[in-house]
Amino acid sequence: MALAQGREPLYASSVVDTDFDFIRETDRSVLDTVAFVEKGPAEMPDKVATQELFQPAYQFRATYKDSVKVDFYVSERAGTQSVAQNYVDLAAIRLGRIPHVLRKGVNRVVINEGDATAFSDIGLIVLYTKNMGKRISTHDLEETIFHESVHATWDKDHAEAPGWTGAQRNDPGFLTNYGRSHPKGEDLAETALFAVTMVHHPDRLPADVKARVQAQVPARLEYIRKLFPAGTDWHGPAGKL
């Protein structure tokens, strides 16, 4: 597949490394409750560790006001149950700030001890304790969770769909070097944060930035707009609560 290479990406790294606060800590979260379930063996994917897939973990369930339920698993290596609860609270409230259309596809969040960057799979997000702290300090954990939720929810049906790959071919370039380097695996998640913000929170981006983004990836913006159209409530069924 020949992809657009004419223009240089607008951003040298990843979209979560920009200075824009796409999703704010003051934004409403529809997190309802977090309950401890049990401590026991759980499937704990970890891209840096060599231990067995199933590891001792504290297990929690978060319930959201839009009827979404997400299981959280925190590695026993992270500390006590109280420490594990704190990590879940930090992640769960931020998951409640992203759009319902993405949150509803997240079934499980794994939190491993360590400083690696987040990754994901269908229905799954994996975070790391020290990296969470760094992302919170730079106001980027919401954006990280949004990004990984795109992978968890939209990648399977859209990352290699003809409509999306056709949009990639037609657009003048990529938004980020990360997206250009990984067009099948990262470009959708990299583009989605800008696209959704431009439709649902346009005041959060300067006019000149929106103009450059629109000129760089017009077909991809339109593709994502159809996945989460203007007028669709950010919080879905919980939007009017």
The answer as to whether 143 is a domain residue is no
- Assess whether 162 and 115 both reside in one domain: no
CA angle (102 as vertex; 101, 108 as ends), nearest 5? 130
Cβ proximity of 109 and 73 under 8 Å? yes
Q: Which residues, including other chains, have CB under 8 Å from residue 39's CB and lie 6 or more apart?
A: 56, 57, 58, 59, 76, 81
Task: Please give the Cα distance from 113 to 39 (Å, whole number).
Answer: 16
36 and 134 assigned to the same domain: yes
Alpha-carbon torsion (161, 164, 167, 171), positive or negative = negative
Q: Which residues fall within 8 angstroms of residue 110, CB to CB, at 6 or more apart?
A: 42, 43, 44, 45, 46, 72, 73, 124, 125, 126, 127
Q: Residue 144: inside a domain, yes or no?
A: no
CA distances from 51 to 46, 74, 117, 232 (A): 9, 15, 18, 43
Q: What is the pLDDT of residue 232?
A: 95
- The pLDDT of residue 6 is 66
Q: 131 exposed, middle or buried (CB, 10 Å; 0-12, 13-18, 19+)? A: middle
Last-in-domain residue among 75, 107, 138: 138
Q: Is there a domain that residue 190 lies in?
A: yes
132, 168: one domain: no
Kindly report whether the global pTM for this prediction surpasses the value 0.85: yes
In this structure, the chain runs to a length of 241
46 and 94 within one domain: yes
State the CB neighbour count (10 A cutoff) for residue 85: 18
Q: How many domains does one find in the chain? A: 2
Same domain, 165 and 127: no
pLDDT at position 51: 79
Q: For residue 210, what are the domain limits?
A: 15-22+155-227
Same domain, 61 and 87: yes
Residues of the chain with pLDDT under 70: 1-6, 241
Residue 50 lies in a domain: yes
- Domain assignment present for residue 54? The answer is yes
Q: For position 186, what pLDDT does the model report?
A: 95
How far is residue 146's CA from residue 150's CA, in Å, rounded to a whole number?
Answer: 6
Instruction: Compute the distance between CA of residue 176 and CA of residue 191 in angstroms, rounded to an integer.
Output: 8
Average pLDDT, the chain: 94
Give CA–CA dist 51/13, Å, rounded.
31
Residue 71 lies in a domain: yes
With beta carbons less than 8 A apart as the criterion, state whether 23 and 143 touch. yes
pLDDT for 197 equals 97
Do 132 and 49 fall within a single domain? yes
144 DSSP 8-state letter: H
Cross-strand pairs, 11: 176
89, 52: one domain: yes
Do 119 and 172 belong to one domain? Answer: no
